[in-house]
A and B are shown apart, each in its own frame.
Chain A
């Protein structure tokens, strides 16, 4: 077992029961996050990236959703490795919010609208750190200061609706940081924000990550954000990890055809067409979950017969992994 990582997800599979069937939105996720490292989990709608993050937090909606296979190994502050999948719920609850924290896309729906932001942070540190009410409120103030909210002394008494979207996201981050987590899971934390505010929040997360030495699993669909913050990147497609590598390797020399095609869809990589119009390469069709064979094969320009029949394992080579039978022929 690799114990050097803070978080190590192995062959994760998650299922959801619907009225008359069962779907498997996650069916082969392997990724790791080291201490002090930022890993971006990238994918489009339906890739399973958010279900993966909810599985780590033990927040899959019950009873419909469950982890049906694999392990989520987490190294506790004590050094002990625990499997979050089999950890009893009371134990998991202790970890959540203290050693593992999470921030979400929409801070308005994640904060309690009828509690001041100070009370919300204080509640969390009382619960996890056993602080008194007075000490907890002082900690709340410190945390607002830490996330660069001006005039923190007064703003602890404000309610979420009195704040802008950017300020609310700062409060979410303050709440997440309040118990010194070793792992932060950030699920599209800047997607709802304006670009100048996004830049502030990314810089803030980067600074806290460096100062506090946290591991960060950053879930996003935005490749610009990935290039900005990630040390390593894991790309998901149709519930599976298709590629992992350093941020530079992924952007400079992608090995999976999906990764390459996705990068070419970026407007910044547009080319001039004969009529003078600028166009981008697109990926035809939409995501399909394929059983047996590669899920990307129906949209892949490099697919061969073998891609449509054989199960494809995630192949590891040094710091990289790729789930493609033909990457050597097509990208080497």
Chain B
């Protein structure tokens, strides 16, 4: 990677609870995001994807590891020194109904962000709020309304305007389109693509929907039980997956094509509890190719080509055809 990363995460680990009831939500996760780059985090329940998003923004504290933002490790900084982070990294939430204060008008919701960082006051404040609303495809006059007066898609736009208010370099978007209908989801995806282009935003884009992630992201990290199984460019992950879990995930996603092959390698069983993750490779209990070695040794991420890395003892590159796009 040429440019210095905007965000570099190293050995990030988060355990909740106390012995003997420790939930190993995130275990030794490393990745970085270049300025203007969008990294997707994909995974199912318990994969730790949302926890990682919250750790990076210091909404919760990590158990171990480093989080370097613009070169500075912010993982242990006291709250009062986090102002730079708060100014430069913002979050967009999944549920546009729960993430906006129902008692505040849109003017206050967005204005709070401006006030906190003293970005605009007086007449300029309203002007700026109007600009932000127009940036996300709403109207300046909407600022005097309350959240309940908007549809789900419009609320998500308000959430995006609030995140943009401080002109961040990084946005953590946690399932930003998952709660929206397909037609509205399309509107919000396109808006986010516009904003990336216009402001050169970097993003950590968290989603369980592989199609959406593939569309939005430059690179994708696939998580399972708090660990990175595979990381690579969107094309690497969707066209040339190397990890059995990535392949299973791709195969299990229904294709909107009645002629697509119906028979798929199906994963049996449930995702294990993060309170009792399997020894060795956490995926081995559901992996069709698991061996004794997988139970003993935690596989390290190894390189497939360029930045494409996967954590499996076995090289499955030539075993079978890559999953269809």
Contact = CB atoms under 8 A, between A and B. Distances in A.
A247 to B, nearest CB: 4
B30 interface: no
- Which of B184, B259, B266 has the most chain A CB atoms closer than 10 A to its own CB? B184
A203 B249 CA distance: 15
Interface stretch (B52-60, B68-76, B102-110, B206-214): B206-214
A252 B257 CA distance: 9
Contacts of A164: 270-271
A198 B44 CA distance: 11
B252 A196 contact: yes
B197 interface: yes
A279 interface: yes
Given A196-B249, A277-B193, A280-B189, A267 B255 contact: no
B111 to A, nearest CB: 26
Contacts of B248: 196
A42 B152 CA distance: 19
A280 B270 contact: no
Given A199-B264, A203-B266, A224-B253, A265 B185 contact: yes
Interface string A274-293: 01011111111010000000
Contacts of B181: 44-45, 221
B288 to A, nearest CB: 12
A108 interface: no
B86 interface: no
B300 interface: no
B267 interface: yes
Nearest to A226: B256
Contact of B211 (A228, A267, A282): A267
A300 to B, nearest CB: 12
B2 interface: no
Given A194-B45, A228-B262, A280 B252 contact: no
A188 to B, nearest CB: 13
A224 B256 CA distance: 4
B258 A267 contact: no
Contact of A195 (B183, B194, B208, B215): B208
A200 to B, nearest CB: 6
A203 B265 CA distance: 11
B270 A167 contact: yes
Nearest to B248: A196
B208 A200 contact: no
B3 interface: no
Contact of A278 (B151, B215, B270): B215
A332 interface: no
Given A228-B254, A270-B215, A197 B270 contact: yes
Contacts of A228: 254-255, 262
B186 A196 contact: no
B27 to A, nearest CB: 19
A271 to B, nearest CB: 10
A163 B286 CA distance: 18
B313 interface: no
Nearest to A278: B215
A95 interface: no
Contacts of B40: none
Contacts of B268: 200
Given A278-B215, A280-B215, A284-B187, A202 B193 contact: no
B190 A251 contact: no
B247 to A, nearest CB: 11
A283 B264 contact: no
A11 to B, nearest CB: 26
A194 B197 contact: no
A196 B151 CA distance: 31
Interface string B128-162: 00000000000000000000000111000000000
A202 B215 contact: no
Interface string A153-166: 00000000000111
Contacts of B255: 224, 227-228, 268
A282 B186 contact: yes
Given A221-B181, A286-B153, A195 B44 contact: yes
B189 A279 contact: yes
B186 A251 contact: no
B260 interface: yes
A138 interface: no
Contacts of A267: 189, 209, 211-212, 214-215
A200 B286 CA distance: 13
B182 A221 contact: yes
21 contacts: A194-B271, A195-B208, A195-B210, A195-B249, A196-B249, A196-B266, A196-B271, A199-B264, A199-B266, A225-B254, A228-B262, A230-B258, A247-B258, A267-B215, A269-B256, A270-B215, A277-B197, A278-B216, A279-B189, A280-B215, A283-B186
Given A222-B254, A251-B258, 5 more contacts: A45-B152, A195-B252, A226-B256, A227-B257, A282-B186
